[in-house]
């Protein structure tokens, strides 16, 4: 009887764990195929997303319209909901306006140097023209890692910035609404960018691409290929435990820095 009860309990536990999806991507040299860094893993289940980056030991969880930024090295996390996003966005805008006022009182040479430095990191922040982005469906198709995909170009300031090889969301294995899940992730990123001039333009442009990019090739500021690509290497259905989308035990909550200070 005891053995029967344990068996039934195990079956119930398995039934409650709905099938999710594990997505693995890697960045590599196009010619040599040598990987640049580790594998980035994205886990999707029940509309929730978890992303793990091997480069800096950090990750993100998106669920119920809340973004959690996780620092595995320091064992901390930051919780960012829509209200927090708006507050951070307003602070960023106020800080930038304050910086612009301070620049007015600087000697011309020092002001020019600061404007050049800030303008390079945040185009449009110093009153210049912000970066513009647009996408173009080329109508061409290629094959990436055995998947037939359609080529889209991401244009930055009129120059080639990225080439995306895209597949329809409907062609991807799994029962998730992937388009909805990834759009929520994009909205979270836009909320974070907030009032920074031009910061959301690239995200909005990528949202207009009809599908999921299984290969992305990068170009430099002059529109020349960098010789690297980020490719989808694995897309697997697997049952993920609920703890996947929870903050690990023992992690300390960290407040979002006050940008205005």
Per-residue confidence band for 222, with pLDDT thresholds at 50, 70 and 90: very high
Higher per-residue pLDDT: 160 or 187: 160
* Lowest mean pLDDT segment, chosen from 103-112, 113-122, 249-258: 113-122
Query: In this predicted structure, what is the pLDDT of residue 18?
Result: 56
Q: At what angle are helices 82-104 and 108-121 packed, to 10 degrees?
A: 150
* Architecture of the domain delimited by 19-246: Clam (2.50)
Give me the mean pLDDT over the 171-197 stretch. 72
Domain residue spans in the chain? 19-246
Among 35-49, 166-180, 196-210, top mean pLDDT goes to 35-49
Higher per-residue pLDDT: 18 or 178: 178
Percent of the residues in the chain that have a pLDDT greater than 70, as a whole number: 78
Query: In this predicted structure, what is the pLDDT of residue 127?
Result: 54
Q: Please count the residues of the chain.
A: 261
Q: What is the pTM of this model?
A: 0.73
In tens, the pLDDT along 28-74 reads 999 999 988 788 999 999 889 999 877 667 899 998 888 899 998 89
Q: Is residue 14 scored above 50 in pLDDT?
A: no
Q: What is the dihedral of CA 139, 142, 148, 153, to 10 degrees?
A: -50
Q: At what angle are helices 82-104 and 178-193 packed, to 10 degrees?
A: 30
């Amino acid at each position: 009887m005891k053995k029967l009860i344990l068996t039934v309990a195990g079956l119930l536990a398995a039934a409650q764990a709905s099938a999710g999806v594990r997505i693995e991507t890697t960045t590599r040299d196009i010619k040599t195929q040598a990987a640049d860094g580790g594998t980035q893993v994205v886990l999707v289940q029940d509309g929730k997303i978890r992303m793990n980056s091997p480069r800096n030991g950090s990750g993100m969880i998106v669920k119920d319209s809340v973004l959690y930024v996780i620092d595995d090295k320091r064992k901390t996390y930051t919780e960012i909901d829509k209200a927090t996003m708006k507050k951070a966005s307003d602070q960023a805008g106020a800080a930038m306006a304050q910086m612009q006022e301070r620049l007015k009182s600087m000697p011309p040479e020092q002001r020019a140097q600061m404007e050049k430095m800030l303008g390079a990191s945040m185009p449009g922040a110093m009153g210049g023209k912000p970066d513009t982005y647009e996408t173009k469906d080329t109508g061409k198709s290629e094959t990436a890692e055995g998947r037939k995909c359609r080529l889209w170009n991401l244009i930055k300031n009129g120059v080639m910035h990225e080439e995306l090889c895209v597949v329809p969301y409907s062609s991807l294995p799994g029962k998730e609404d992937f388009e909805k899940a990834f759009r929520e992730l994009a909205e979270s990123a836009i909320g974070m960018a907030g009032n920074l001039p031009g910061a959301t333009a690239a995200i909005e442009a990528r949202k207009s691409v009809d599908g999921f990019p299984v290969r992305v090739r990068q170009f430099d500021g002059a529109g020349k290929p960098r010789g690297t690509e980020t490719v989808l290497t694995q897309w697997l259905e697997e049952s993920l435990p609920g703890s996947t989308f929870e903050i690990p035990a023992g992690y300390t909550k960290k407040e979002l820095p006050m940008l205005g200070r």
